[in-house]
Amino acid sequence: MRALGYSQWKGTIGFLYSQFSVLRSIGERECEQCGEDYWSNAQKSECVLKEVEYLAYDEALGFTLVILSVFGAFVVLAVTAVYVIHRHTPLVNASDWQLGFLIQVSLIIMLLSSMLFIDKPHNWSCMAGQVTLALGFSLCLSCLLGKTSSLFLAYRISKSKTQLTSMHPLYRKIIVLISVLAEIGICTAYLILEPPMVYKNMESQNTKIILGCNEISIEFLYSMFGIDAFLALLCFLTTFVARQLPDNYYEGKCITFGMLVFFIIWMSFVPVYLSTKGKFKMAVEIFAILASSHGLLGCIFAPKCLIILLRPERNTSEIVCGRVSTTDNCIQLTSAFVSSELNNTTVSTVLDDRVLIYMCPLKLQ
């Protein structure tokens, strides 16, 4: 019989040798073991260096992912320039431009962090990749949570018959600070106690060494990205509850759609990632990072930039804060009564001046 993984030498009947050993000389029965980075050639006469596989910049897939990453970063910079130039307009002011700027910074971090997963991995790139990505997501989602908390409280004010205290803008920054500090604490413990290291995967293929990062502690990894998932869930729930606000408060609808895109991408990522092998495993993760970043960028900032650049007549205090009817949907928001359809039932939503002043802290003309 012939053992699995072994071949029979034609010169000696019944002699078995492995794919990772060579004959010392012709006619001998003894074999010499190859090093762990080598395997024997077809003639079993010498040890040949295994091919090292990783996602490189100079191949088509790696180069395409880099282009998408850099392109996304430049788009975010263009959005930032639009915000800076039009920072005194009602639309930018009403959407809390400070948090908007932090979201733009976090999107750049997320997009560029994907480049840390490309090229030959090193210990420093393994440590920097996951940590930078987790911090970028945490900053982005905590800023969105600060925005959605305001929308949720505005909805509660509109539904309540009693006076409710509105959220001071400083409280939104505190939400961001607490979330990011919690993420920094977990990342610091992760890097100190069980940092990821370069890993040579020799089991997948006999002729190749697949380089990657070995995540020693899955618990720390789950903790880092678990915070991000929790923040994303809170963002979605708070905006979904506040969906009955009038169309002028469309930022909540944009964030809700952005969170849906975010969840769809990462829920699809898990089964695809687990079924992929080799360098394509890393490519799947990078694609998920880029897709979710571009999705948030498009859902949150594209509608605002469209109004700022192409529909400046709608970038007024009256329309942004709901003081006059818009030309598109002809909704008269000066009335204190707004009807919305929910579950085939007409629900009356009272929107008084407290909500308008709360959502639009502008000096209305």
Give yes or no for residue 336 having a pLDDT over 60: no
Give 237 or 165, the one with higher predicted confidence.
Answer: 237
DSSP string for 103-125: HHHHHHHHHHHGGGGSSS--HHH
Amino acid present at 160 = S
Domains in the chain: boundaries: 6-49, 60-314, 317-359
Amino acid present at 196 = P
Give yes or no for residue 242 having a pLDDT over 80: no
32 band by pLDDT with thresholds 50, 70 and 90: confident
Q: Supply the pLDDT for residue 284.
A: 93
pTM over 0.85? The answer is: no
Residues 281/271, Cβ–Cβ less than 8 Å: no
Largest CA distance in the chain: 100
Environment class of 263 (CB within 10 Å of its CB; exposed 0-12, middle 13-18, buried 19+): middle
Give yes or no for residue 346 having a pLDDT over 50: no
Q: Supply the pLDDT for residue 72.
A: 96
Q: Supply the pLDDT for residue 138.
A: 95
Average pLDDT over residues 261-287: 90
Residues 134/185, Cβ–Cβ less than 8 Å: no
CATH number of this structure's domain 60-314:
1.20.1070.10
Give yes or no for residue 21 having a pLDDT over 60: no
pLDDT tens, residue by residue, 75-118? 999 999 999 998 888 888 877 788 989 999 999 999 999 999 99
Environment class of 345 (CB within 10 Å of its CB; exposed 0-12, middle 13-18, buried 19+): exposed
Residues 328/285, Cβ–Cβ less than 8 Å: no
pLDDT tens, residue by residue, 184-203? 999 999 999 988 888 888 87
Give yes or no for residue 214 having a pLDDT over 90: no
DSSP string for 283-345: HHHHHHHHHHHHHHHHHHHHHHHHHHHH-GGG-SHHHHTTSS--TTT---TTSSEEEEEETTE
Percent of the chain having pLDDT more than 70? Answer: 72
